Structure 1
Amino acid sequence: MSQTAEPELHYLEYYEDFLAKVRVLSRKVRDSGWMPEFVIGVGRGGLVPAVYISHQLELPMLSIDHSSKVPGFADELLAKVAGMTAEGKRMLFVDDINDSGGTISYIRDHLADSGFNTDNLRFAVVINNRSSRVEVDLWADMIDRAEDKRWFVFPWESVGTKDSIVEEALSVPERLS
């Protein structure tokens, strides 16, 4: 795919597709034998699934706004989360998709810099990319970006303009080519 070609947008239906995936993910967390004490939504894309999962598992939710790109903002919160894991609190990070792995890698690196306890931390995503450079612990659906070039548009994103959705999809062209 050339960088100027429009990506194939794949809209997830709110109740029929997205909600079913979130329920699968909640069930996998419950059945994993490792129950978190907090669900952490990774902003922006992980906030909505994290809210649903926190309700389904009857757990409190925290949020980390990684997507704002405000220097130091998420880092301070990640340092607090790292401290909580060092004290024995179990934390489940939730994001919408593990695509390139950039977000999860960023979070893990900052947690490591702050002395987190890896035994008390898990990552869950609605859609996991088999070709991602990082692995997650739990997912509802698996794709392989080597073959699947669709750009997934989650329900909360679908209210944006088509131009803004396409611009976001093309912002990291290697995900789609």
Structure 2
Amino acid sequence: MSPTAEPELHYLEYYEDFLAKVRVLSRKVREDGWVPDFVIGIGRGGLAPGVYISHQLELPMLSIDHSSKVPGFADELLAKVAGMSAEGKRMLFVDDINDSGGTIQYLRGKFAEAGGDAANMRFAVVINNRSSSAEVDFWADTIDRTEDKRWFVFPWESVGTKDSIVEEAKSVPERLS
């Protein structure tokens, strides 16, 4: 995609479709037999699905705002969660999409650095890119970024201006070309 080309925006704006995907994720977690103690919504995209999943599974929710890029903020919270996992608490991290895998790799790395127990950490996403550099444990839909270049606009993002959505999509051109 050229820097000036318009990305193909794909709006996921139907509440019932989103709710169905949340139910799929919750069912997969429940059927897996691995029972988390907490749902961790990854800010910003994982907060809305995280809340729904925490209600569906009747679990408390915590949040880690990775998207803000405030130095140390997410890392401090992640260290607290890692400490809880080292004591045996299981954490289900939730995000909207596993796209490049960068967020998941970052979180796993910081979790390990802080002494977290990897056996007590799982990831669930609404959309999983099968060509991502990171693997997840649970997903509702699958795409392959090598073929599918759409920019997914989730219901909570669709209230933003088209210009801000396009700007965000263009900030990561390698996912779109």
Tell me how far 1:17 sits from its aligned partner. Answer: 1.8
Q: Quick one: distance in 1 between partners of 2:146 and 2:17?
A: 23
Q: Secondary structure at the match of 2:152?
A: strand
Q: Quick one: distance in 2 between partners of 1:54 and 1:92?
A: 10
**Aligned residue number for residue 146 of structure 1:** 146
Tell me how far 1:19 sits from its aligned partner. Answer: 1.3
With 134-143 and 17-26 compared, the bigger mean Cα shift is at 17-26
**Aligned residue number for residue 174 of structure 1:** 174
Tell me how far 1:116 sits from its aligned partner. Answer: 0.8
User: Given residue 145 of structure 1, which amino acid in structure 2 is its aligned partner?
Assistant: R
Contact kept, 8 Å, 2:15 with 2:155, in 1: the verdict is: no
**Aligned residue number for residue 127 of structure 2:** 127
Q: Quick one: distance in 1 between partners of 2:141 and 2:71?
A: 32
Tell me how far 1:16 sits from its aligned partner. Answer: 2.8
CA RMSD of aligned residues (A): 0.7
Q: How does 1:7-156 map to 2 (within 5 A)?
A: 7-156=7-156
* Percentage of identical aligned residues: 85
* TM-score for both structures, normalised by structure 1: 0.98
Q: Quick one: distance in 2 between partners of 1:164 and 1:13?
A: 17
User: Given residue 43 of structure 1, which amino acid in structure 2 is its aligned partner?
Assistant: G
Structure 1 moving runs of 4+ over 3 Å: none
Q: Quick one: distance in 1 between partners of 2:16 and 2:126?
A: 14
Q: Secondary structure at the match of 2:142?
A: strand
Aligned length: 177
Q: Which runs of 5+ in 1 are unaligned?
A: none
Q: Secondary structure at the match of 1:30?
A: helix
Q: Which runs of 5+ in 2 are unaligned?
A: none
Contact kept, 8 Å, 2:13 with 2:158, in 1: the verdict is: no
* TM-score for both structures, normalised by structure 2: 0.98
User: Given residue 164 of structure 1, which amino acid in structure 2 is its aligned partner?
Assistant: S
Q: Secondary structure at the match of 1:131?
A: coil
Tell me how far 1:54 sits from its aligned partner. Answer: 0.2
